[in-house]
């Protein structure tokens, strides 16, 4: 595990090696403040920033004062930010422009207090070389800012993402696993537990996302095809034995229902990791 994430685990988790949290996206199109309050109600301690009613809560273009403000809202509720899914850079732009954009995202991660950024991988092979060139060129900058860069399957499998992590071979670039996406983009043909066989030594966090046929990830984890107990056991065998497990999606509904689903998943994850 990265030293940055290890530090977060040691500092903020007193009773469990796992940082069980929720992304703001789990509350659908509601404002991130409603999501944060829902996390508190559901008993979470850890936060992943992603989307809300205005798009990304924080991205590369977010004003510095807003990024600071979001971080303060999280702290006010006694929560700890462990991951920022803030979009990415323009993969069609020149590498130099992509580097500048990714550095701005890293800056905003630092401002809001996130120890890492999570970037979705790119499935278009024609764009892959420049996409990963930008990441490679920003690894040292992220290290300087104490922001780990991670890539998350978003069209590719974990094994395919791992090839890029190995090729770049930088301690500040790791893999953020997403079993729901792996199942979704392969139409259920790739079992995340089997995919995890290729991920030893590179995983530092996971988006807890499930999948149901035909093409549905908008469900509460534990109700779909992903066997999270077996998956976490396999990832643990490969070295991911502590760190963030961040719930990305819940079944949609009225706010009391979503909050109740969030609590249910927290209790489920605590049960299978205890």
Parallel, antiparallel, or unpaired: how do β-strands 55-56 and 80-84 relate? unpaired
Q: How far apart are CA 108 and CA 102, in angstroms?
A: 10
Mean pLDDT throughout 228-232? 98
Mean pLDDT throughout 162-174? 98
Q: How far apart are CA 81 and CA 104, in angstroms?
A: 18
Which residues on adjacent β-strands are paired with residue 247? 22, 208
Q: Please, which pLDDT band fits residue 33 given cuts at 50, 70 and 90?
A: very high
pLDDT of the residue at 15: 77
- Digit-coded pLDDT (tens) for 41-74: 999 999 999 999 999 999 999 999 999 999 999 9
What predicted TM-score, i.e. pTM, was given to this entire model? 0.94
Tell me: pLDDT of 273 over 90: yes
pLDDT of the residue at 164: 97
Tell me: pLDDT of 149 over 90: yes
Tell me: pLDDT of 129 over 70: yes
Cβ-contact 47, 108 below 8 angstroms = no
What share of the chain in percent tops pLDDT 90?
Answer: 93
Map residue 42 onto helix, strand or coil: coil
Helix (H) and strand (E) counts for the chain? 10, 10
CB atoms within 10 A of CB 215: 12
Map residue 195 onto helix, strand or coil: helix
Tell me: pLDDT of 88 over 70: yes
Tell me: pLDDT of 8 over 80: no
pLDDT of the residue at 123: 81
Mean pLDDT throughout 15-43? 97
Sort residue 219 into left (φ over 0), alpha (ψ -120 to 50) or beta: beta
Map residue 10 onto helix, strand or coil: helix
Which residues on adjacent β-strands are paired with residue 81? 47
Tokens of 82: 């462990």
Cβ-contact 188, 225 below 8 angstroms = yes
């Amino acid at each position: 595990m990265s030293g940055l994430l290890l530090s977060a685990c040691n500092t903020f988790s007193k009773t469990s090696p796992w940082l069980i949290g929720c992304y703001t996206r789990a509350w659908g199109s509601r404002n991130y403040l409603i999501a944060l309050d829902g996390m508190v109600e559901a008993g979470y301690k850890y936060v992943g920033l992603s989307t809300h009613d205005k798009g990304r809560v924080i991205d590369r273009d977010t004003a510095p004062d807003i990024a600071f403000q979001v971080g303060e809202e999280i702290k006010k509720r006694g929560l700890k930010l462990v991951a920022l899914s803030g979009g990415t850079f323009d993969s069609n732009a020149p590498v130099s422009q992509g580097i500048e954009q990714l550095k701005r995202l890293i800056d905003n991660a630092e401002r809001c207090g996130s120890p890492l950024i999570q970037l979705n991988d790119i499935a278009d092979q024609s764009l892959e070389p420049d996409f990963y060139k930008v990441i490679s060129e920003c690894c040292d900058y992220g290290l300087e800012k104490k922001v780990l860069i991670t890539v998350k399957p978003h069209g590719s499998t974990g094994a395919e993402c791992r090839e890029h992590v190995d090729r770049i071979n930088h301690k500040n670039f790791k893999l953020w696993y997403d079993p729901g996406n792996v199942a979704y983009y392969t139409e259920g043909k790739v079992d995340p537990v089997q995919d995890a066989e290729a991920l030893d030594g590179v995983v530092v966090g996971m988006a807890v996302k499930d999948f149901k046929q035909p093409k549905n990830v908008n469900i509460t984890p534990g109700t779909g095809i992903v066997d999270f107990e077996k998956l976490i056991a396999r990832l643990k065998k490969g070295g991911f034995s502590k760190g963030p497990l961040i719930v990305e999606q819940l079944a949609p509904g009225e706010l009391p229902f979503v909050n109740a689903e969030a609590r249910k998943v927290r209790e489920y994850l605590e049960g299978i990791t205890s």
